[in-house]
Structure 1
Amino acid sequence: MRKQITILILMFCYLGYGQNSDLCNNIKINEDKFSKKTSYSSPITDRISFKKSGAIISIRIDIPGSTLSTGEKGVILLLRDGTQISKPNEPIYIGVRDSYRYSANFTLSKAQIQRIIDNPITDVKLYIYEAEVFDSEKYSEYLKCLVSM
C-alpha cells in the first residue's frame, strides 16, 4: 500500500511540474524502520539540500572555508530578487574533509518556502564564509516537489 501511495505522489509531481518533473524523480524516500514514518530528501548536491519530515521542511547548507572557526552563528540566504532570509542566531557546524566545511540546518517557515520557490537562492553566507549557488532554479524545483509530497 505504501509503495502505491509513493508511486501516486511521484506521478503527481511528474504531471504537475512539466519540464522539471524529472527532478521530482530524484527525491529520495526514506522510511524509518522503527517509527514507520516517511521522510523525503532532495539530492545532496553543490551546497544545498532539503528534507521533509511530516509537514516540516528543513534546509541544509554546506560550504567550504579556508580557516578554522568554531562556535560561530549566522546564516544569510540571498534570493534572486535581492531580498534575504536571515537567521543571525543559527549555529554553524564545522567538519573536515579535504578542507574545512561549514554547515547549517534549520526549519523553513511556509513563507520562507514560498519565497525560495518564487525567488531561487543565488548565494549563501555562513558566518563569514560566502558561496554562490549554481543551478539555483533546480533547488526551487526540488522544494516545489517536496511541498507537493
Structure 2
Amino acid sequence: MTTGTSRRTVLATGVTGAAALFTGCGGGGDGADGTSASEGTRGAGEALAATADIPVGGGRIFKDRKVVVTQPQEGEFKAFSAVCTHRACLVSTVADGTINCPCHGSRFSITDGAVEHGPAQVPLPAEQITISGNSIQLG
C-alpha cells in the first residue's frame, strides 16, 4: 500500500491555489485603462482626477469606476455612467462633444448624457461628483 498524494489531488490543489493567486492580484492600476497609479484607491469620495485632466469640450473615461467625466464649458464638470444604455458596453471615447460607444455606435451628449445617436434610446445616467479645489471626487 502506497501513501501519498494522487495526481487528482495535486491538480485540484494547483487550480485552487492559482485561483487564489489571481484573485489576490486584481486591479493593478498600471494605467492601461487611462488612469494613473497616483489616482489612489478606487473608492467613492476619493480623488478621481485633477480638473486640468479633463479637456474643455471633451472628457475622460475611468473604466475601472465605470464613469466618464466631461467639461462641456470651462469650469463646468459633469459625470455620467460609462455603461452604454443600449447593451451595457463600456463607452470608449469622448470626441466632438459626444461620449461614444464602440459596440453599436451610440453617442451621448457631454452636457447632459442625452442620446445624440442611437441605437441607445435612454440617456447615460448622471453620476455624483464633487469639485474640491483642483480635485474631482466621485460621490
Same fold (TM over 0.5): no
| Bigger CA radius of gyration | 2
More strand by share: 1
Where relative contact order (Cα < 8 A, 6+ residues apart) is larger, the structure is: 1
Structure number having the greater helix percentage = 1
